[in-house]
Chains A and B, each alone.
Chain A
Amino acid sequence: MDVILFLIFATIAVVCAINVVVQTHPISSALSLVGVMGSLAVLYLLLGAEFIAAAQVIVYAGAIMVLFIFVIMLLNAGAEVKKGQSTMALFLGVPLLAGLLIVMCWYLQSWFPIGTTVHFGGFQSTAPHTGPLAQSGGSAHEVGIALFTRYLLPFEVTSVLILIAILGAIVLARKEID
């Protein structure tokens, strides 16, 4: 059951990713990227990362990609014009790419033999601060405790980073008032 889910959503992710790279109009690329993020969110759920899956949909698919789509709609630049495509590059490139991917998969397979398998519910929290019921290791409780104890400094630094980004975006996109 987990294998079927993984295969379905991994296929959707790869097809959408190829679509992102191949499509001419930026809107189609953007929507395919939303599809990639959605299927990745399901894969995170399989890996027990519930909070990150929800954050992926809320932040990435629901805010960042909406921002992309806004900019594409505002600029309205239209589809990309292809010029200078050589078929020789296609003939040489795609088999080389496939060969590279096969070698890479073989190496990954040999480093991580079949031993560790992922199944839904395999990541349980073992910390002593959980209550009598075991929680998923990636639940909001676990992520929250780690975020505010061990990773407090990066958390505060990223807050400042977001503030800087907000100021930068406002300054860059503002119309001159004179």
Chain B
Amino acid sequence: MDGIPISWFLTLSAILFALGVAGFLFRRNIITVFMSIELMLNAVNLSFITFSYKLQKVDGHLLAFFVMVVAAAEAAVGLAIILTVFKNRSTLNIDDIDTLKN
């Protein structure tokens, strides 16, 4: 074939998103959970750019750019929160940060 079918890109995006969800649900280390969120955001970016190619418009690229910017802001604040949590609880295991539970 002379090109790659569009559905392959979307399948790859779906697989990466599913792996991100799996990491988010099953991992106990808070930083790994955070990285799974970033994986999900990357998968969505791939999806945006694929559709932008299909529709031959540049707007998908812009949306992917904004997703990247928001991910950067979220990573900065999230990691600061993780640092504060570690300073107070001395653990990165999310099972041990449960003082709000009754």
Binding site for B on A (CB under 8 A): 2-3, 6, 10, 13-14, 17-18, 20-21, 26, 29-30, 33, 36-37, 40, 43-44, 46-49, 51-52, 55-56, 59-60, 63-64, 67-68, 71-72, 74-75, 77, 80, 97, 100-101, 104-105, 108-109, 111-114, 116-119, 122-123, 125-126, 137-138, 142-143, 146-147, 150-151, 154, 158, 161-162, 164-166, 168-169, 172-173
Contacts of A161 in B (CB 8 A): 69-70, 73
CA distance A125 to B80 in the complex (A): 41
Contacts of A20 in B (CB 8 A): 19, 23, 32, 35-36, 39
B92 → A minimal CB distance (Å): 4
Contacts of A37 in B (CB 8 A): 42
B3 → A minimal CB distance (Å): 3
* SS class, residues of chain B in contact with chain A: helix
Closest residue to A5 on the B side, CB-wise? B4
Q: Which of A40, A51, A123, A166 contacts B56 (CB 8 A)?
A: A123
* SS class, residues of chain A in contact with chain B: helix
Contact A48 B53 (CB under 8 A): yes
Contact A33 B39 (CB under 8 A): yes
Closest residue to B15 on the A side, CB-wise? A14
Q: Which of B11, B22, B29, B45 contacts A105 (CB 8 A)?
A: B11
Binding site for A on B (CB under 8 A): 1-12, 14-16, 18-20, 22-23, 26-29, 31-32, 34-36, 38-39, 42, 45-46, 49-50, 52-54, 56-59, 61-62, 64-66, 68-77, 79-84, 86, 91-93
Sample 12 A-B pairs with CB under 8 A, ordered by A number: A49-B49, A55-B68, A68-B79, A101-B18, A108-B10, A118-B9, A126-B56, A138-B49, A143-B65, A162-B69, A165-B77, A173-B83
